[in-house]
Amino acid sequence: MRKIVLAPLCALVTVGVAACSPSGPDQTDPELAPRGTTMTKVKPARQDLTTKLSIAGKVEMNPTFGLVAPVAGQVRYFDVAAPNGTPTKPIRVATVWSGQTPNYVEAPAGSTFSGRLVDDKATVTAGMPIASAKHVGYAIVGDIDGQQAYKISGALTDVTVQIKNGPGPFPCTVLGTIAALPQGTIPEKPPVTPDGKDSKEQQPQQPKTPEQPRQPSGSTGLRIVCTAPADVQMINGATASIEVTTGKSTQALVVPVEAVAGQQGKGKVDVLGADGRRRTTDVVLGLTDGKVIEVKSGLTGDEELAVPGPNLPEGQQQGGDQSKPTGP
């Protein structure tokens, strides 16, 4: 009986070495896609990009909100007289002096001054809450978590609200955000003066007037407070959805999010060469709507990118070199 010797299957395959795999651990070429990867190619495109953030909210009566410093400087408070009714004009509550330039802080019409949040003459930074005010009447209030707070910072000019099973969508005018009164705080009220002059000026001593009882504040964290148009019917406690436009970019250079390693700030993409090899490239990222992401620099727009993007070791996610981290 003759013995038939079969050549190994891999020796008969001449189409490509990737058709067979060794029995030991895979030997990975960092410039080639891992075996079994379904990879497509994509070119960057240009489009207008608008990013929005949705926040759960509700209708509240007389909500408290924070007034922030418009610039960095020294805060000087006005002596605010107790109102005889709901104010119909903005109330000037403080001045933030930047050098010799005064920058006024006002409680909007329809709200009352609730108290100071920092000491008089304190040095404050731009965007820091320095006073609390209380809106008289209905408003839409949405609680903001820490991640959302950074996304909406400085982006509160375009807010739309939809009340569940009620009116909307309608534009909502933002009164303020951070109401930084911890629970149990009794807001400080300065001495009452009839003329409301800036406390930076010397004021004559005024006769003392009886003070109204002041109730401890409720716990308020990061929040957005906005008011609806006058013709929108409001019901206290009704739930609402608040949509905040966080950014707009005209004709932004965008790529699919799947092509990028990273979500914001710095990221990496794999640029495909003519021979199909990948070159990992650093990029600076901008806005994203969850489908595409803006590439602010690092690409010209003529490249072809691999999708999915680079799958980098943890130590290389932020850096562009191949060295190992020196820390633990």
Burial string for 284-320 (b: 16+ CB within 10 Å, else e) reads ebbbbeeebbbbeebbeeebebbbbbbebeeebeeee
- Residue 240's pLDDT is what? 97
Instruction: State what percent of residues in the chain have pLDDT above 90.
Output: 42
Higher pLDDT, 29 or 66: 66
Residue 262 belongs to a domain: no
Q: Which residue has the tokens 């009714």?
A: 85
Number of domains in the chain: 1
Per DSSP, the three-state class of 9 is helix
Residue 3 belongs to a domain: no
- List, in order, residues 6 or more apart from 32 with CB less than 8 Å away: 277, 278
Q: What average pLDDT is seen over the chain?
A: 76
Residue 202 belongs to a domain: no
pLDDT per position as a tens digit, 64-80: 888 889 999 999 999 98
pLDDT per position as a tens digit, 237-292: 999 999 988 888 899 999 999 999 987 788 999 999 888 888 999 999 988 888 99
CATH number of domain containing 142: 2.40.50.100
Cα gap 100→23, rounded to integer Å: 77
pLDDT per position as a tens digit, 144-156: 877 777 777 666 7
Enclosing domain of residue 93: 59-183+217-246
- Residue 69's pLDDT is what? 92
Residue 276 belongs to a domain: no
Token duo for residue 269: 């993409």
Per DSSP, the three-state class of 228 is coil
Cα gap 121→240, rounded to integer Å: 40
Per DSSP, the three-state class of 94 is strand
Residue 260 belongs to a domain: no
pLDDT per position as a tens digit, 156-192: 778 999 999 999 899 999 887 654 444 434 445 444 4
Residue 291 belongs to a domain: no
Q: Is the sign of the CA dihedral 165, 167, 173, 175 positive or negative?
A: negative
Higher pLDDT, 51 or 328: 51
> Which pLDDT band, with edges at 50, 70 and 90, does 314 fall under?
low
Residue 1 belongs to a domain: no
pLDDT per position as a tens digit, 202-233: 444 445 545 544 444 444 557 889 999 999 99
- Residue 9's pLDDT is what? 41
Residue 118 belongs to a domain: yes
